[in-house]
């Protein structure tokens, strides 16, 4: 009969994932050992192994939970104009990144190091996000309908702006997160409109 989980099991697991993400982002996944992870978490290796058997399991859990949070946060909004709905998705994604710089950095840099079967389930979560944003971009820029081949490049350009903002954005910097969401939406919509017009 399996031992019942401790009442604080979930909290400890989340703390381990958070500390591991910090370590992987700072020192690199390849260079971190289970001993390093245990030290970063201020726990024994024995306790770490109680939660995760391998470093790979930890990496999968960090990326999966991060992507699941992004998917949950970016459900397509119901009301407003198509442009306002795109802006709402952009704002939701940036807000979800607020305290997840390490997890986000790991998703971008380390997912490709996983074996293909383990990576594929995570890539599918990324595809959910791409499909949602592609649909929102197409709705916000109807002129792209005649140049549908541009929808994916425009969408991925938007993700490029959003995904790499952690490299330069500071909460006390010259632009707020909300203002950056406005800027990114404006750049994408107005740029896509011009791109679609050039081909008409």
Domains in the chain: boundaries: 55-198
Say what the pLDDT of residue 1 is: 39
Cα distance between residue 152 and residue 46, in whole Å: 46
Say what the pLDDT of residue 78 is: 86
Say what the pLDDT of residue 200 is: 52
Say what the pLDDT of residue 20 is: 96
Say what the pLDDT of residue 53 is: 94
Half-sphere exposure at residue 41, Cβ-oriented, CA atoms within 13 angstroms: 29
Tens-level pLDDT at each residue, the chain (200 residues)? 344 556 677 889 999 999 999 999 999 999 999 999 999 999 999 999 999 999 999 999 999 999 999 999 999 888 899 999 999 999 999 999 998 999 999 999 999 999 999 999 999 999 999 999 999 999 999 999 888 899 999 999 999 999 998 889 998 999 999 999 999 999 999 999 999 988 65
Say what the pLDDT of residue 6 is: 62
Cα distance between residue 41 and residue 49, in whole Å: 12
Cα distance between residue 136 and residue 189, in whole Å: 10
Q: Where does 55-198 sit in CATH, by number? A: 1.10.357.10
Cα distance between residue 144 and residue 63, in whole Å: 33
For residue 166, the 8-state DSSP code is G
Say what the pLDDT of residue 167 is: 86
Say what the pLDDT of residue 3 is: 47
């Amino acid at each position: 009969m399996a031992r019942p989980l401790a009442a604080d099991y979930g909290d400890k697991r989340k703390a381990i994932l958070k500390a591991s993400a910090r370590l992987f982002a700072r020192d690199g996944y390849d260079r971190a050992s289970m001993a390093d992870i245990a030290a970063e978490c201020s726990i024994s290796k024995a306790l770490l192994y109680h939660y995760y058997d391998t470093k790979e399991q930890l990496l999968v859990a960090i990326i999966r939970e991060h992507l699941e949070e992004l998917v949950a946060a970016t459900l397509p909004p119901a009301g407003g104009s198509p442009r306002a709905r795109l802006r709402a998705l952009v704002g939701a994604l940036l807000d979800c990144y607020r305290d997840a710089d390490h997890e986000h950095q790991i998703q971008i840099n380390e997912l490709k190091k996983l074996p293909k079967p383990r990576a594929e389930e995570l890539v599918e979560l990324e595809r959910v996000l791409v499909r949602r944003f592609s649909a929102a971009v197409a709705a916000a820029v109807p002129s792209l309908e005649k140049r549908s081949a541009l929808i994916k490049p425009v969408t991925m350009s938007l993700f490029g702006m959003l995904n790499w903002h952690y490299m330069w954005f500071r909460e006390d910097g010259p632009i707020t997160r909300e203002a950056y969401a406005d800027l990114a939406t404006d750049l994408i919509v107005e740029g896509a409109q011009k791109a679609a017009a050039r081909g008409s």
